[in-house]
A and B are shown apart, each in its own frame.
Chain A
């Protein structure tokens, strides 16, 4: 019944697809060019001189491997934040969904209301608090604020309600399992798709974060790749003799920095799509 296809619709969607993918294609093409060719050749096709590898070498080794450092920092900040946030959300989401205690509704309502509090409105006061506590210019300044995910909790609470049947918890209790053992050995497995979703989306949020590290860090060795690239680009924009070379570093660095997340989304699509389904429908 659904075998027929619509050509008009296909053409519209191809146009959309071109809009969304063309800039990325341009970025890839640009990172294969020498600085001279960047200006002299057409942006959407390769120049005769394919210099992707030499550009990559120049980018990762520039300034005593500082770009590699930024990438490593980004990976470290995002993995720790995402893992930590997902762990906290899974524990608390399960706790709110499966236990009855005084203040349950009030606390989950408070957290739900906080979904609307914009993270950037918190950034400046958090910076001021952290500078009093001596946490500014340390990895903690990036990781700690990224551990709070009200939306992650909301998602996990909804997910836990349906994914972990009460009967199974009861059965495990009758078998004499402790509450935390039930969580780690029985419930955690059932919560896995929800946990992967929270991990992935916190990972993206931390990976792409710019405002928070921009204000928290002034030591280039601690920068994540977003702040590092922005700094390079301001050098490239400032003019001077080295502009061209830095420009090529910014372009190749940008290209390199998007590869890991795109790869993660492509590889993990089965998980985040099912997890988002439960969040998106019920949210």
Chain B
């Protein structure tokens, strides 16, 4: 199944014949194991084991009387009917549906513009837009939090000069949008660089052929470049699914600015954190973590499935 995914992502997975041809005449199987062993050990110990442990913990419950007891799927039935968790999942799902298309559209536009040859100092634009990626989420959130604020926030100052009332960025109506803006600010440049790198690999004779046919820059972008970017866009989309659903730092820090707007269940990850460290409900927190991982894998595969199917029909 996973090997199949590589194919869909457009990677050149080595065919069996390929591998055989390469290894003909020499069998270095044992050395091969030695090369991959350190990685695989760390992988098993720090990725597979914690996942398995979470799965194991999720089968137990702490009771006031009787201590920790086997609960079967009790935690899962609780989770699937837990309104706080469901709201959190719904919220990040909504976030994904609105923020990601905006972010990828800006990244695509910027990558095409920089690649078009119609800009002066294209390199400057590329670096400038990419820079926020190097800023930690904590700093980005603190910074935007100050900009949003009413005391010395930039928007409050500007609104004051124009004698308008500033938008209430930290109110419950605006909060998700305010967080979406921070995430867009952080990650547009990263996506742009991936798309731009993919654009550089499009064979240039295609452009020349298009130019001979009288296609302008916009027409070339639409008919040649965007179709060629499909695999790269898919990679961006998958990474965005993973990023959106595990949203944590931004809401966790914004919580201090607006404690009445962001509760401990604002996103599923924040909920898991609250459960484990405020509520001491370790088993239920492990269940939430495990379910969140499962949701992300399922949504990622669903996105892959939908997008690759549409491209074939």
Contacts and interface: CB of A to CB of B under 8 A. Distances in A.
A102 B273 contact: no
B73 interface: no
A226 B57 CA distance: 30
A20 B35 contact: no
Interface residues of B, number: 115
A234 interface: yes
A144 B292 CA distance: 22
Nearest to A237: B256
A17 B195 CA distance: 17
B35 A124 contact: no
A150 interface: yes
B39 A91 contact: yes
A44 interface: yes
A171 interface: no
A280 B198 contact: yes
A20 B185 contact: yes
Nearest to A30: B146
A177 interface: no
A91 B299 CA distance: 32
Nearest to B22: A166
A100 B22 contact: yes
B128 A20 contact: yes
B177 to A, nearest CB: 15
Given A43-B152, A273-B197, A117 B47 contact: yes
Given A96-B36, A122-B50, A276 B31 contact: no
A73 interface: no
B6 interface: yes
B187 to A, nearest CB: 11
Nearest to B3: A109
Interface stretch (A56-64, A188-196, A203-211): A203-211
B291 to A, nearest CB: 9
B266 interface: no
A176 interface: no
A9 B127 contact: no
A254 B135 CA distance: 9
Contact of B11 (A215, A230, A283): A283
Interface in B83-134: 106, 109-110, 113-114, 116-120, 124-125, 127-134
Contacts of A116: 238, 242, 296-297, 300-301
Nearest to B27: A100
A30 B143 CA distance: 10
Interface stretch (B59-67, B168-176, B282-290, B305-313): B282-290
Interface string A220-252: 000001110110011001000000000000110
B250 to A, nearest CB: 10
B127 A266 contact: yes
B253 A129 contact: no
Interface in A107-136: 107, 109-114, 116-129
A168 interface: no
Given A10-B120, A112-B6, A282-B10, A258 B134 contact: yes
Given A281-B201, A283-B235, A101 B286 contact: no
A95 B36 contact: yes
B272 interface: yes
A75 interface: no
A50 interface: no
Contacts of A207: 136
A52 interface: no
A201 B127 CA distance: 16
Nearest to B5: A112
Contacts of B198: 277, 280-281
Contact of A100 (B19, B140, B272, B301): B19
Interface string A147-187: 11010011000100100001000000100000110010000
A13 B125 contact: yes
Interface string B179-209: 0000001001100011101101100000000
B259 to A, nearest CB: 10
Contacts of B51: 117, 122, 125
Given A38-B152, A107-B40, A265-B133, 13 more contacts: A5-B120, A13-B119, A23-B185, A98-B22, A98-B32, A104-B19, A117-B296, A125-B51, A148-B46, A204-B133, A210-B252, A254-B139, A283-B232
Interface of A: 1-2, 4-6, 9-10, 12-13, 16-17, 19-21, 23-24, 26-27, 30, 38-39, 42-44, 88-89, 91-92, 94-102, 104-105, 107, 109-114, 116-129, 144-145, 147-148, 150, 153-154, 158, 161, 166, 173, 179-180, 183, 204, 207-208, 210-211, 215, 225-227, 229-230, 233-234, 237, 250-251, 254, 257-258, 261-262, 264-266, 269, 273, 276-277, 279-283
